[in-house]
A and B are shown apart, each in its own frame.
Chain A
């Protein structure tokens, strides 16, 4: 139990376009989902906290108009990278609260490459 999926697992897009990444809790309801970004050989940095039915809370330095988060249901949160640029290329990972046992379950990540 407590499986979190992400789609797509990898995506390549051109500079200036927008990309949507989905995060789903498959066998539990997630009241809260989190989005992280991880650059190569670095740690996970929290970008935002997403609660179902309310606006996301962004960490300092994360542009909310660039990284749009929608948590429309208890099993789905989406992250849209708008007007992507090469510096947005990164590994984006979501996690979800609400499953059994320990508290945050992580998705497998989405590799975004902006050319």
Chain B
């Protein structure tokens, strides 16, 4: 079936380090990908997106890389801060507006 998967449930880093969260997606027809941050008890918060005709996009302290050849997506967070601690989900768009979410990675940032 359709799936977007993450295989590293928890990532622990020190404050100031760079963090890299990875995601594998399964549908080569997906045209749009998004990274979300979810804090405990809250809804997902948009971080950054990328369309399939791009391979890199940068935001403030975050960069998303897309490798369509191996169907891989990554989120890089520069100078990680304690406030970045949360669960991060990638999502791919399948069909009209439908999003499929990955399994999530918990990022723990130690001061």
A54 at the interface (CB under 8 A from B): no
Interface size class of B (residues with CB under 8 A): 20 to 34
Q: Is the interface of B mostly helix, strand, loop or mixed?
A: strand
- Chain B residues with Cβ under 8 A from A32's Cβ? 97
Q: Give the bracket for the number of chain A residues in contact with chain B.
A: 20 to 34
Contact segment of A62-70, A82-90, A100-108: A100-108
Whether B43 lies near A109 (C-beta < 8 A) is: yes
User: At the interface, yes or no: B61 with Cβ under 8 Å from chain A?
Assistant: no
Residue among A45, A95, A97, A103 with the highest chain B CB neighbour number at 10 A = A103
Q: With A32-B97, A44-B89 as given contacts, are A106 and B45 in contact (CB-CB < 8 Å)?
A: yes
Are A44 and B97 in contact, with the CB atoms below 8 A?
A: no
Taking the complex as formed, is B100 at the interface, i.e. its CB lies under 8 A from any CB of chain A?
yes
Interface residues of B (CB under 8 A from A): 32, 34, 36, 41-46, 49, 89, 93, 97-104
Interface residues of A (CB under 8 A from B): 4, 6, 32, 34, 42-46, 49, 91, 93, 95, 97, 102-109, 111
